[in-house]
Amino acid sequence: MKVGPGLLLLALTGIAIPSAVARGDAPRPPVRATLVCEAPPGPGRFRCDVELRVSDGTLSWAEVLVTEADDLILPLRGRLGPRDASTHDADIFRWSLGFVAKGRGAGKLTVRVRAVLCHGETCVPVETDVSSRIVVPGAP
């Protein structure tokens, strides 16, 4: 993603490990989720992009849920499902979420990504949380 002058992007990564891996049944690579948010220049709308990626296996279903947003941050939608994804492939899902910064200051935003990861006929649910600190600069 290209970044223009004056645009700061915040990115955090979460890793979800399928339940079979957590039990030690089979060595499978984790699912990786990222959250990248524009830094709003002031109160108003801004966007965050969420990406879910797997290097082994296929993603048969996925959704993203806003689970925490400080009072400063208003989500325009609380959930985006698989049909809302801008990219929906076997190894990657991407969503764009809209938010409104209601004022100036800093706040935390957390989303949960839930998915079904399949290896052949075996599918397991996975989920991970990713967070970002949103800063709206300037004096109130």
Distances (CA, A) of 106 to 10, 127, 139: 13, 26, 12
The torsion defined by the Cα of 70, 97, 78 and 34, in degrees rounded to 10, comes to: -70
Report the pLDDT value the prediction gives residue 140, as an integer from 0 to 100.
56
Report the pLDDT value the prediction gives residue 39, as an integer from 0 to 100.
87
The model's pTM: 0.77
- Give the residue extent of every domain in the chain: 9-135
Report the pLDDT value the prediction gives residue 2, as an integer from 0 to 100.
35
| R_g of the chain computed on alpha carbons | 16
Report the pLDDT value the prediction gives residue 25, as an integer from 0 to 100.
55
The burial of 111, by beta-carbon neighbours within 10 Å (0-12 exposed, 13-18 middle, 19 or more buried), is given as: buried
Report the pLDDT value the prediction gives residue 55, as an integer from 0 to 100.
85
Residue pLDDT, tens place only, 41-70? 999 999 999 999 998 899 999 999 999 999
Enumerate residue ranges in the chain where pLDDT < 70: 1-30, 139-140
Report the pLDDT value the prediction gives residue 138, as an integer from 0 to 100.
74
CATH classification (class only), 9-135: mainly beta
